[in-house]
Structure 1
């Protein structure tokens, strides 16, 4: 190959491995075949193995692998190179790897080099995106109109107000674990809301991933992978994680609300945390009955609260029994309940049931949390340290957080 290699020259080199024209002696084609084979040999000397296929591989390794396969497949090439093959490459020194359409598509491989011209040596090109990185960028760019954006618009407006008032903060994105349903981010200069997440799976590289529904503040949405959003946030210098709202005062003086100067009807100075167990025969409920609890806060009588449970989809359309109650004083009930639900959100039950009219309902106050963890949470509410904790489902206990809901 010449020192000043461009894409046309590279395409020309690869095209030379088509069905050969029989020639006598060593012509330009044979010289190029030998030069191309020597590049493969230098790769093997440097890396200790023959070039391999796969989208996770470097673009040049994939090109070399395609070239080597074609050399092996053509008898005249094997005859020409046999005396030079001191590494045993033509005989297939490694177990052959099935070649996918992507690997054999030279045009697709060359397209990935677009914009990389300028180096005097093909192996010195830098910043060539892998196919995985390209897909991540495409998932961010390829968005559709969000048909039900009016449902999400008030949420975006509230988040903006929270940012302006300081209830929420934006900070650099750090962990993939932060990507979950209900999480907010700033990517590409737009606020992004993770509205839904499918089941987690293991991808071809052995890494966990999941398909997301992400809604953006310009009224579009994207059905992207969790790792694609992760990469986009890391790559975007202005990418940010928008924190969950800070709890604010949980315990208030009876003569004043932290917002209005007086107690609101919904923010009484006393309340009861209740823990309920469902008697539903739903398979999911029955299988998890010992750890499945409804956790809430009320200012009234708990027994009266569950009197009509079997008619209420909030109670899974079944009778419920009281497992425990905790009475607290000088508290903001609304804020306390929101905080409790946010702490146990990682263990929230995802279930859909039908109400008595046949309409689908998704109850939001049921959590797969052992009773002793609820006791622990109440103790931390009493001593004022609850805002420093979050529930870890894998460990089945409360763990320290950094104040914004991330395990510390």
Structure 2
């Protein structure tokens, strides 16, 4: 990187000047009040210094440097502010690199007011105060003031950086995205759910998804595994892995409710750990309205056929079911139940569940339930076919 002086009408560049006479000094980006003084002294129009901006030593008085430091090793005092500049009009024949340093029309009326505007960020040539773009606060870090952006801006920045190309990042160097909807207003608490939206983000997501699919196809051609190998601890249950969907609507009934029909999808997955992750989603057979959801984990006691289901239901019920695995037949019985304090009565007291992989490759599930006023009774029965 070529270091050059950012001052108006100054053409000093590292390598083009005598380093024993001219040294270069970075703008104090992390010190807000001092940065405002430097920016006010430079008087450049529509320009914001960054970590690559420098001023040469010719713009400082001799007493601005620490004693004992000479040549290119000069060091500025903590409160040094540039004060020597040439703001005379630029000749028409001046080189383009010099003409780009436009002089501000007038100096800010109040130095303190300028300091509170804080550094600005530009987007497509338009400059806005940082307070209009970034939510956060200024705090003291030792003897320096440091700006700490909010969680919203930090998350947006990470999403924006990872979801854009190098060329796009070069055109838009700022916190978050210009059209961000989730960012809070100044003075309000920023949400933690910020994420990029819009056609560009969707296009990037689609390209990433296609790339993943291409890599998987390529690995299959080479005979390489496309997913993490199954942990030996859960190998007896590998017949469950994958996605399943109801072959036909299942039947639901219980003495205290009217019979109903439903469809359901099951998804069992693993990531190489001795545990299976699962998600069950049930829908009304006619209206397709979401009904019941369950998610959790499956574990096997090492060296045995003892299986445990850890289940959380969207109804507010959490349970642990344990049972025995016999080939491709898994029978489970609830061992512990917990529910929210405002759960509706009658409360569920016991649940039993049966999974069986039939000879035709279809998966069958039967669920029985007992409440405070009803004995253990079959509640659900459904058959699934493997979808992936």
Higher Cα Rg, which structure: 2
User: Could you say which structure has the higher strand fraction?
Assistant: 2
User: Could you say which structure has the higher helix fraction?
Assistant: 1
TM superposition score normalised by structure 2: 0.25
TM superposition score normalised by structure 1: 0.24
